[in-house]
Copies of this chain bind each other. A is one copy, B any other.
Amino acid sequence: MSTREDKAHAMLAELKRSGLKLTPQRIAIVRELAGDETHPTAQDLFDRLRAAFPTMSFATVYNTLDALAAHSLVGSLRLRGARGAVRFDPNTSAHHHAVCDRCHAVVDLPAEPLDGATARRLGRQTGFLVSGEERTYRGLCARCADRSSA
Contact = CB atoms under 8 A, between A and B. Distances in A.
Interface of A: 76-80, 84, 86, 98, 100-101, 107, 109, 114, 119, 122-123, 125-142, 145
Contacts of A140: 128-129, 131
18 contacts: A77-B80, A78-B78, A78-B84, A80-B86, A98-B130, A100-B128, A109-B126, A123-B139, A128-B139, A128-B140, A128-B142, A128-B145, A129-B142, A131-B139, A132-B137, A133-B137, A134-B137, A135-B135
A84 B78 CA distance: 9
Nearest to A77: B80
Contacts of A127: 107, 141-142
